[in-house]
A and B are shown apart, each in its own frame.
Chain A
Amino acid sequence: MNVAQIDRLAEKALRGFASRTSRRSVFSVLGAMLAGASALPLLPVARADAAPASDPNSGRQPPKPSGNPQDPGDPTQCDYWRYCAIDGSLCTCYGGSVNACPPGTEMSQITWIGTCRNPADQRNYIISYNDCCGGVLWGRCNCQRNDGDRPVVRPQNNNEVTWCFGTKSQSYTCSTAVILGAAIEPR
């Protein structure tokens, strides 16, 4: 096929297309394509972003409720009741738990305390925010809640201090929220 033949073929195809379609129908096709583009986020990749964390394809951690109805909520989330005065990274995201440090770290026994209300039994609990020290350093699952936090003049009520004392390393990794006991209710 030479150039002249290609020319003729193309001309024929375009004339045929022009005779079969109106300008308006071209716009309607373009419009449909635009509408299709807006629907692109519904394709599988975007759907995975919007999927609930329980979907194994979502790429996110599934909810991890404590399993105890008297200890409600998800200790991997900032809004868990024991974290009412936490400032730092949750050990539940580093291989630890709400009351255990991740492997490879050391728990500081000198710490500070907060008082949090348990929404299940409506009791106030003394929560000890023992820090875990000497492990990896990065800002995963960072939470800042300040109920009862007070300026560092009262360090025992301050959540800005790195509570890594008496540990081999004072480099901060993450924080736990250990129940020390139910608070004595004011009469």
Chain B
Amino acid sequence: MSMKAHSVRALLVSFFALFFLTPPAGAVDFPEPLPAEPVPNVRTLPERYPQSWVFLNYASNRIELRNVGSDSRDVEGQLQARDSTTLLVPKNRPEIYTADTVWSRYTRGTRTDYITVYDTKTLNPIGEIVLPGAKRALITTMQGMFAFTDHERMGLVFDFTPASSVTVVDLIARKVLNSIDIPGCSLIYPTGARGFSTMCSSGTMLSLKLDAAGKVIGRRETRKFNDLDHDPLFTASAIVGGVRYFPSMHGIVQPVDLRGDEVKILPKWPLVGAADLPAHWRPAGWQIAAGEGDKLLYVLMQEHAHEGTHKDASSEVWVFNVDTKTRVRRLRLVRPGSSIALTQDASPLLLVQADQRLDVYDPATGGLIRSLNLPGFSTRMLIQPVP
């Protein structure tokens, strides 16, 4: 054997010794291996969620539960959604309700409309209420399609075929109670202790009072107050001090008090002062308004608005004191926003969906606190903070 061959063999031997006999460098720092982990293993959530969590309804392919109160910005869970899916989250029960529509062969076959009852801790479906008549409204998910009444015992589902009706459901007994025709009217606004109002194409609001079995025991119609020809009210609204505030397309706001059985149409007032009129500021977006406590109304506002821009994103959020009917703050957004909401905790956060971002602001200063990516977002979003 030549010297050269000998040294090559020695080199190879040292190489193998180095890589296979010496313990890896890290093992010196970590003498014990990682423990084996149990399977199966499914995470559970708290029975009551922190109020810094929100449901993000991607109209309409999924609903995501996200933590907006921490820089971790975690996704905490998801609920399935197929078509125009709507969500109700009660304050008083560890349950979540979604109303959805599926077909037996994905986009064809037998149609089923149904409410799923989920357990808050596991997000497992624990109940189901099938809605008869294949008539649940299939509309881009918006406020007013699914609402509570009777202290969260009843769920009200808006139907549109294009004849309008409301299906009344007992969410605790898990059964359908009634179907009520509301010809020429749309959407549901809970009214009184047990009942609802609906916006009618005649410019009025129709209010229906229900008995415990979901039967209509009172029916009243307001005067005409919604000028649908010239300045229609958005159907999106915010509650401040128990009163519902509907911005109009041209920038007035119409307060409506729905706390009693009789609807009170309160005096409307302008959102846009004389100084801002030349720049054509108007409310615009999707979920355009949010309320804080007894006084503050937040509205997404768009500059240089004109016909056809009422669902485009807006560059500012204006904050109004509803007692003095004046603007108290003007928040310039880092990105134009389409939907807004406020978390329901003692120090609320202002949430603004801006294309594929959810921006979290301090509502007192307008400062951006954090921003969450919304992967897969393509159309519109409803933001539903944990109550």
Residue pair A149, B108 in contact (C-beta under 8 Å): no
B83 close to chain A: CB less than 8 A: yes
A173 vs B106: C-alpha distance in the bound complex, in angstroms?
12
- Please report whether the interface of chain A is mostly helix, strand, loop or mixed according to DSSP: loop
B308–A147 contact, CB under 8 A? yes
A155's closest neighbor in chain B, by CB?
B162
> Judging by beta carbons under 8 Å apart, are A144 and B311 in contact?
yes
Residues of A contacting B32 in the complex (Cβ-Cβ under 8 angstroms): none
Contacts of B365 in A (CB 8 A): none
Q: Tell yes or no: B235 within 8 A of A by CB.
A: yes
Residue B160 CB within 8 A of the other chain: yes
A153 touches B199 (CB 8 A): yes
- Give 23 A-B contacts (CB < 8 Å), ordered by A residue: A85-B308, A142-B378, A144-B311, A144-B379, A146-B308, A149-B308, A151-B199, A151-B234, A152-B187, A153-B199, A153-B200, A153-B226, A153-B228, A153-B232, A155-B160, A161-B137, A161-B138, A161-B160, A164-B138, A165-B162, A171-B106, A171-B108, A172-B138
Surface stretch bound by B, among A48-56, A65-73, A131-139: A131-139
Residues of A within 8 A of B233 (CB): 151, 153
On chain A, the number of residues with a Cβ less than 8 Å from chain B's Cβ atoms is 34
Q: A146-B309, A151-B233, A153-B201 are in contact. Are A169 and B187 (CB under 8 A)?
A: no
In the complex, A152 Cα to B234 Cα: how many Å? 9
Question: Nearest chain-B residue to A150 (Cβ)?
Answer: B232
A110 in contact (CB, < 8 A): yes
Which residues of A134-184 have CB atoms within 8 Å of chain B's CB atoms? 134-137, 139, 142, 144-155, 160-162, 164-165, 168-173
6 additional A-B residue pairs with CB within 8 Å, beyond A137-B106, A169-B103, A170-B101:
A147-B308, A151-B199, A155-B162, A160-B139, A169-B107, A171-B106
Q: Is B307 in contact with A148, judged by CB distance below 8 angstroms?
A: yes
Q: A146-B311, A147-B307 are in contact. Are A168 and B235 (CB under 8 A)?
A: no
Choose among B103, B108, B142 the residue with the greatest number of A CB atoms under 10 Å from its CB: B108
List 3 tightest A-B contacts by C-beta distance, closest first.
A147-B308, A162-B138, A171-B107
A154 / chain B contacts, CB cutoff of 8 Å:
201, 228, 232
Residues of chain A lying within 8 A (CB to CB) of residue B139:
152, 160-162
| Chain A residues near B (Cβ < 8 Å) | 2, 84-85, 87, 110, 134-137, 139, 142, 144-155, 160-162, 164-165, 168-173
A146→B311 CA distance, assembly (Å): 7
Given contacts A146-B308, A170-B138, contact A136 B234 (CB under 8 A): no
A139 / chain B contacts, CB cutoff of 8 Å: 378-379
Report A183 CB to chain B, min CB distance, Å.
16
Which of chain B's residues 86-123 have a Cβ closer than 8 Å to chain A? 101, 103, 106-109, 111
| Nearest-Cβ distance from residue B8 to partner chain A, whole angstroms | 11
Query: CB of B310 within 8 A of chain A?
Result: yes
A136, A148, A150, A153 pick with most chain B CB within 10 angstroms: A153
Question: Could you say which residues of chain B place their CB within 8 Å of the CB of A162?
Answer: 83-84, 138-139
Interface hits, B21-36 → A, CB 8 Å? none
Residues in B with CB closer than 8 Å to A152 are 139, 142, 186-187, 235
CB contacts (< 8 Å) of A150 on chain B: these are 228, 232
On whether the beta carbons of A170 and B111 are closer than 8 Å, the reply is yes
The answer to the question of B321 belonging to the interface, with a C-beta cut-off of 8 Å to chain A, is no
Most central of B137, B138, B312, B378 by chain A CB within 10 Å: B138
